[in-house]
Amino acid sequence: MRIGIEAQRIFRKKKHGMDMVALALIRNLQQLDTENEYFIFVNDTEDPSAIKETSNFKIVPLPPAPYPIWEQKNLAKAIKTYQLDLLHCTSNTAPVSCSIPLLITLHDIIYLEKINLKEGTWYQRLGNIYRRWNVPKVVKKAAMIFTVSHYEQKRIVEHFGLQNNEVQVIYNGVAGHFKIEDIQKQEAIRLKYDLPKSFILFLGNTDPKKNLRGVLKSLAILEEKGIEHPDLVMPDFGKEVLISMLEEINASHLISRIHLTGYIPNEDLPAIYSAAKVFLYPSLRESFGLPILEAMACGCPVITSDTSSMPEVAGDAAIIVDPFNPASISKAIEKSLTDSASRNMLIQRGFLRPPLFDYKKGALDTLSAYQKIYSRK
């Protein structure tokens, strides 16, 4: 087979969830499959060390262009240029004119739901407009749809009127470098990012679903009650947006308790998780929730939501809260800091969750799907 994989962003320096998942898939396929030919279509080339070519894996940079043009024009043209048998698009969208069997990973369909329509940056809103135009079209053409949780499978099946066997669940996994880092490494990272000795970690962005407003309100509740708590550490977040949000909720005084580190590369995250007192992940909606497992693998207690996929991923190894209720989040923070027995139980249970989510198994299942779809030609 000649298999094309859309991995537009795996070479950019600032990698995020979907980028890391696509990268892990390709790395595992390289180990598993030495027979079929793979063409990995990329855009940015800032970090060429992310993955290396092998005898049957060719990295193909396509001309840079805005995302919709790159996908609908440049990627569509590459299908014919490289005489592909299959195309796997890994990040929710695909060329609508795809002339060969198409496999698509729908990480989520949040952009088709009301929760995500009104807020966010202009870039996020434009992306949602493109996805709302593209996804219904490519779903009709797809030979196979992958998604990352049973929760999301149910949502996709219901939304598009599909059968369960048309949407295959392939869980994300946890990279092997996520583990407890020793004290020396933690201290080195603490100095690198000027972190306080004790801190609460929140990984989010300006997307409303990440629920930063709920996190800030929960800290304000702790302050009002006079409950001692560590400072909040927030990677990759703009100060102007934060100040504006604090003003909206009448909590500007919290700015002195919040540390903005800038972007933290993936290789530094294990030490950050290891050093944190607790990891906050009270999203309003997620399709998976990979940081939950990353934090658990590093021995960090997790607070996450009772909605969407998060209970499926966290199991009994996290404090589960109502993300729409800041008081619920604040109570969970207080418990994680003061109840040592509960804290230790969460840490021990947390170590048991990541092994249940394996990138190698995901790659095997993906390869099996490639073979199944190709055999129908």
| pLDDT digits 0-9 by tens, 288-340 | 999 999 999 999 999 999 999 999 999 999 999 999 999 999 999 999 999 99
- Read off the pLDDT of residues 57-85 as tens digits, 9 standing for 90 and up: 999 999 989 889 999 999 999 999 999 99
Asked if pLDDT for residue 152 goes beyond 90, the answer is yes
**Whole-angstrom Cα distance, residue 352 to residue 156?**
29
| Cβ atoms within 10 Å of 141's Cβ, excluding its own | 15
**Residue 132 tokens, joined:** 């709302």
Judge contact between 86 and 98, C-beta under 8 A: no
CATH of domain 183-356: 3.40.50.2000
Q: What is the CA radius of gyration of the chain?
A: 21
- Read off the pLDDT of residues 7-29 as tens digits, 9 standing for 90 and up: 988 887 777 778 889 999 999 99
Dump the DSSP string for 304-316: EESSTTHHHHHTT
**Residue 244 tokens, joined:** 């504006």
Asked if pLDDT for residue 97 goes beyond 80, the answer is yes
Please state the pTM of the whole predicted model. Answer: 0.89
In the chain, CATH 3.40.50.2000 sits at 2-173+358-375, 183-356
DSSP 8-class letter at 49: G
CATH of domain 2-173+358-375: 3.40.50.2000
